[in-house]
Each structure stands twice: as structure tokens, then as C-alpha cells.
Amino acid sequence: MKLLVPPCFHKMCEACIDRLFSLGPAPCPVCQQILRKTNFWIQTFEDLTVEKELRVRKRIAKCFNKRPQEFRSQRAYNDYLEEVEDITFNLINGIDIQETEERIQKFALENRDSIAANMARAQHEERALNRRMEQEKAHRETQRQQYRRQLDEEEAAKTADKDSLINQLATSGRSASDIMAQRAITLKRSSMRKPADQLAGGSGGYRGSAGHSRHDHDWAYDHDDGGMDVDEADYSPLDNLYANVGGFVLRSDYYDPMANSQQGNAAVLTAGGYLPRFAHQRALESAFAGLLVAPLSGLTPDPEA
């Protein structure tokens, strides 16, 4: 047996609904409200109070859909929200139903143009949001495919390099040490060129909401942002160059006057997980950062620098 819920929220079974409302509108057996068979729906939440509140709020939101920019001050907008909550509370708890319904009808009549415009704007923004989510999903899939293709290419290059090395060792008249030394130099040069190539290539084919590359009007409906903050460009970890800083060996001990002065307070310093070597490593990385990265092409050095 399936129970259905009418607008008055007095549940009935399907058999009773067919028997009472098959010939047309009829009063509810509990509250005498006139109901139609087409107005019954399947209950979503186990708690009927939650079901009622959800339905009431959906109904009120369709009518009371004004936006903050339509009010002269924040206080006026807060008063409007308080009035909406009062109406919602009355409908949920059955307080002054007739008077509350009259308030709703009066508001809908006085603001029908604004309500229709806000509904159209909300639908437009929802379509734009769905389109943006689909585009971002496609972009992530493209990045994933590019990453997989790059892994395959790197694996193929490693295999080819290994076969080439074996062939050189087997057929070349040079010594193995000379071949390995030459190979190490070649690998070092290629690794130095790789970060610059990645920086030049980039992944600038996709821009977020601040890039203004896709349907700018979708996010500025009628060229009016309503004073709302505009998001910055979407952050993507694949859009930036991350180069591991190397070229140094972190020793176990350094001359550090600041750390040495706190020798007797080691328990307090290490309570949060701090160790002096963290500061030493960061200082060395700052000193060596960029030393092994190939310079940008097309730039002429300043002789006075």
C-alpha cells in the first residue's frame, strides 16, 4: 500500500484517493479542504513535518524571489527576509492561514513583473551554471587524457633510450664509461630544457570565470552583477610550473645563532613539530631556486644590471 500526500498534508492511500477523487474535486475527509487527484504526490521524507516545510518553502521561494540589489539598504532587505520567514512560519504551523494567503496574493499581484524577471534571471543563471560545469568537466577530462598521453610518451621514450644505450654498449667501439658519461650530459641538458618548454607551452587553453573567454553574458545577466563579488580565475595546479629545487645537500648541522640561542628551550620549540632543519632547508631552497632553470628566450640582459 502506497501513501500519497495532498496539499493539506493528510496522507491517504491510493485506494482511498481513487474512491474519493475519481469523479473530480472533493473535500479532504480530515480538514474539508477541496483537493484534486492530480495534486497528490509521493512522500519524500519520513517525517511529514519536514515534507510540509519543504513544500511550503518551495512555494514561497517562487513568489518571494527578490534580490538584495533591489532594496535601498541592507536593513530593508533584512526586513523583507523577516516578513518571508513570518509567512513561512504561519503556513507551516497553520497560523492565520486566510490572512497569510491574502498577504501572499497581494505581494504576488503588486510585484508580478519583478517576480517574472527574477524567475527568468534565475533560470538563465542555472543554465549558465550547468553549461560551465559541463565545460569544466570536459576540460578536466582533456587534462586527464593529456596526462595519460604524456605518461605513455615518457614510458616509450625511456624504453627507446634504454634500447639505444644497450645497442651503443654492444656495437660502439667506445668504452662503457665514455658512453655513460656522454649519456649523463645529454640527460642533464634535456632536463634543464624541459621546465622552460613546459612554461612556454603551458595550459592556457582554458580560462575560468575571470578569463572572459566563455559566454561572458551568462555571468553578467543584463550587464548587472548586482554588486556581488566576481570570482577570480579558477585555480588549477596544472597551470603552474613546479620545479624541484636541487643542487645542494642538506647537512645535519649548521651555524645558526637563532637556533643555538634556544638550545635549552628545545621542548617548547619542537612541541608543534618544528625542527631547525626546516628553516635551513627553506633558506637553501630560496638560495638555489631557479639556478638550474633555463633562461627565457628572446630576453636581452641589461648591461647596467
Write down the domain spans for the chain. 3-115, 125-241, 244-292
Alpha-carbon span 299 to 153, nearest angstrom: 31
Q: Which residue has the higher pLDDT, 89 or 171?
A: 89
Task: Give the pLDDT confidence score for residue 216 in this predicted structure.
Answer: 46
| Beta-sheet pairing, 34-35 with 12-13 | unpaired
Span 173-199, pLDDT tens digits: 777 787 778 777 777 776 666 555 555
Counts of helices then strands in the chain (DSSP H, E): 9, 5
Alpha-carbon span 227 to 220, nearest angstrom: 11
| Beta-sheet pairing, 3-5 with 41-42 | antiparallel
For 135, the grid coordinates are: 565545460
Q: Which residue has the higher pLDDT, 113 or 299?
A: 113
Alpha-carbon span 225 to 217, nearest angstrom: 10
Task: Give the pLDDT confidence score for residue 31 in this predicted structure.
Answer: 87
Q: Quick one: CA dihedral 115, 118, 124, 130, positive or negative? A: negative
Task: Give the pLDDT confidence score for residue 121 in this predicted structure.
Answer: 92
Single-letter code of the amino acid located at 265: N
For 47, the grid coordinates are: 517525517
**Percent with pLDDT over 90 in the chain:** 29
Contacts for 212-216: CB closer than 8 Å, 24+ residues apart: 214/132, 214/135, 215/128, 215/131
**Contact criterion met (CB below 8 Å) for 208 and 231:** yes
- Most confident among 96-110, 159-173, 274-288 (mean pLDDT): 96-110
> 40 φ, ψ to 5°?
-85, 145
Q: State the chain's mean pLDDT as an integer.
A: 78
Span 123-172, pLDDT tens digits: 999 999 999 999 999 999 999 999 999 999 989 988 888 888 888 778 87
**Contact criterion met (CB below 8 Å) for 233 and 211:** yes
Which residue spans within 41-198 are E strands per DSSP? 41-42
Span 206-258, pLDDT tens digits: 555 444 444 444 444 444 444 444 455 565 555 555 556 667 788 888 888 77
Cα–Cα separations (whole angstroms), residue 121 to 65, 116, 243: 11, 9, 45
Average pLDDT rounded to a whole number, residues 268-295? 77
Alpha-carbon span 234 to 210, nearest angstrom: 8
Q: Is the pLDDT of residue 104 over 80?
A: yes
Assessment of whether the complete model's pTM goes beyond 0.95? no
Among all chains, which residue has been given the C-alpha cell 554588486?
227
